[in-house]
Amino acid sequence: MITTTETGRTYRVTGDQVRIVNADLNAAVELAQQDAIGEGTHGVLVTRHGPACFTVAVSSDVPYGITHEREHA
């Protein structure tokens, strides 16, 4: 499931089936990339919070045109 937590900037992806989480994660990354392209100044940060919990966000910490992944400690 994709939940928008900050319109046009942050998406939360959760689920209980790997196939669905992967599909939703790919969709959320595409949405965030489109948002980032619209701004033209930020990249996309994908953060894994747990086995089936991610946030995907337009981030000023990531250079424009880049998607970074990280594990939340």
Instruction: Say if CB 37 and CB 16 are below 8 A apart.
Output: no
pTM given for the model: 0.91
Domain extent, residue 33, equals 2-71
The pLDDT value recorded for residue 7 is 77
Number of domains in the chain: 1
CA 67 to CA 44: how far, in whole Å? 5
- Cα separation values, 49 from 12, 55, 58, 73, Å: 10, 8, 17, 8
Segment 17-57, tens digit of pLDDT = 999 999 999 999 999 999 999 989 999 999 999 989 999 99
Give percent of the chain with pLDDT exceeding 90. 82
